[in-house]
Structure 1
Amino acid sequence: IAADIVREMFKRAGVDYTLTLRFPWERIYGMALEQPNYGVFVTARLPEREELFKWVGPIGPDDWVLLARGDSPINLTSLDQARQYNIGAYKGDAIAEHLDGQGLQPQLALRDQENVKKLIDGKIDLWATGDPAGRYLARQDGVTGLKRVLRFDSAELYLALNKQVADETVQKLQKALDQMRSEGVIDEINARYL
């Protein structure tokens, strides 16, 4: 979803780019921090990251959730209640960092898709992921019917650009994204996947 939105945004803005979908997340995030004319998407725009990048967005919402298999008896009303379970998360992701900061120590995967298999195979009880991204990743692996047991936070997802990217470029991209949103293009792209 985000890749389609970002491609269209750059096209409309008339900004040349190279888009690479790579892993691991931490490496790409570091490159966007350190290398001129690099960016990373989608990135949760959090207060502790605010001054690190120039921002274009929001590209979409990101509910921070704990998902379980559809047949799981787990029901939670707070994140603290999740301490007794094995939780899988995506290494370097804001959600994983948040859980670690709360002392939950999730099992980390280099690709969030790995957590779908771990959940189905019973290697983890809960998958900490973003929604709708997690549902999309699960569906790609033919997995449906996952149960949302807790929404514990939310963020807006952005394109985070290195601080040396020209302000004019950032403004062109933001204007293109705003135009896409007002024309309903963002909704059309989301509807293709969800």
Structure 2
Amino acid sequence: MPAVRLFAVVLLLCEVGLAHAQNLVLLTENLAPFNQAVSGRNFAKNEGVTGISSDTLRAVCARAGVECQQILRFPWARVYQQALNEPGYGLFSTARTPAREKQFKWVGPIASNDWVLMARADSPIRLGSLQEAAQYRIGGYQGDAISQYLIDRGLPVQLALRDNKSLEKLVKGQVDLWVTADPGGRYLARQEGVDALRVVQRFHTAELYLALNLATPDALVQRLQGALDALRAEGELSRIVARY
């Protein structure tokens, strides 16, 4: 094979490999308001997932010029293993923990999830510390890690089987504070027609990331991170959060 022709074949193969490297499949689960299914949308056209993280990553991929397909799939353990084991796959919204640090390449944070105590907007409650909340009636969600966090620290929590029941108690004045997540709790409240709430104490922040398979090229990871940083600096990420 002539050298020029051989060079052309090698160049073509490189271009094919590069094009393949620019395509990602991003797996997720239902975790409102960060990522959730949208009924009536076209999954084949990447329109079946919405939420803060989903919209953020859609904007990031568009800015970076990367073709990213978002797929909502169950259970979480399955999508986690797929992103861990298969090149070209990623996972969101994912907590970046020490145990996971070396298992993936990371882009983010794409969102944050605060653990908070909320009160009605007309409540006079002011807290200087989390422990000061012990004097008030606190409503929480049974089996939820956020409620358990307070219980483990000796704070009394009235547990309900569903989080919207705790919200209902707060609105009716049956509890003084609602332990929940922000923006998750605020999103739930809006779904229930409740807007008049305020955060009186933030006591923990969990940052959420896109976790990419280790085979993802570093240049691609850096391109996505650069796009995310640019969108944050322009205020686009704040505008996305405000929609939810």
TM-score by length of 2: 0.56
1:120 match: 168
- Tell me, yes or no, if structure 1 residue 175 matches structure 2 residue 222: no
Relative distance call for 1:32 and 1:124 in structure 2 (3 A) is farther
Higher relative contact order (CA 8 A, sep 6+): 1
* Cα distance in structure 2, aligned partners of 1:4 and 1:66: 27
2:91 pairs with 34, 39, 52, which one?
39
Q: Deviations over 1:113-142 (max 9, x none)?
A: x52343223576533233344323312321
Relative distance call for 1:19 and 1:103 in structure 2 (3 A) is farther
1:15 pairs with 46, 67, 73, which one?
67
* Cα distance in structure 1, aligned partners of 2:54 and 2:142: 19
Task: Indicate conservation of the 8 Å contact 2:118/2:177, yes or no.
Answer: yes
User: CA offset at residue 49 of structure 1?
Assistant: 5.4
- Tell me, yes or no, if structure 1 residue 166 matches structure 2 residue 216: yes
Task: Indicate conservation of the 8 Å contact 1:76/1:149, yes or no.
Answer: yes
- Tell me, yes or no, if structure 1 residue 56 matches structure 2 residue 104: no
* Cα distance in structure 2, aligned partners of 1:65 and 1:76: 12
Count matched residues: 181
Task: Indicate conservation of the 8 Å contact 2:139/2:169, yes or no.
Answer: no
Task: Indicate conservation of the 8 Å contact 2:53/2:92, yes or no.
Answer: no
For 2:232, what is the secondary structure of its paired residue?
A: helix
1:179-194 pair list within 5 angstroms: 179-191=230-242, 193=243
1:127-146 pair list within 5 angstroms: 127-146=178-197
Relative distance call for 1:161 and 1:96 in structure 2 (3 A) is farther
Gap regions ≥5 residues in structure 1? none
* Cα distance in structure 2, aligned partners of 1:32 and 1:129: 26
Gap regions ≥5 residues in structure 2? 1-51, 84-88
Relative distance call for 1:181 and 1:78 in structure 2 (3 A) is closer
Task: Indicate conservation of the 8 Å contact 1:53/1:160, yes or no.
Answer: no
Relative distance call for 1:99 and 1:18 in structure 2 (3 A) is same
* Cα distance in structure 1, aligned partners of 2:148 and 2:215: 27
For 2:71, what is the secondary structure of its paired residue?
A: coil
Task: Indicate conservation of the 8 Å contact 1:54/1:163, yes or no.
Answer: yes
Task: Indicate conservation of the 8 Å contact 1:34/1:162, yes or no.
Answer: no
* Cα distance in structure 1, aligned partners of 2:190 and 2:240: 17
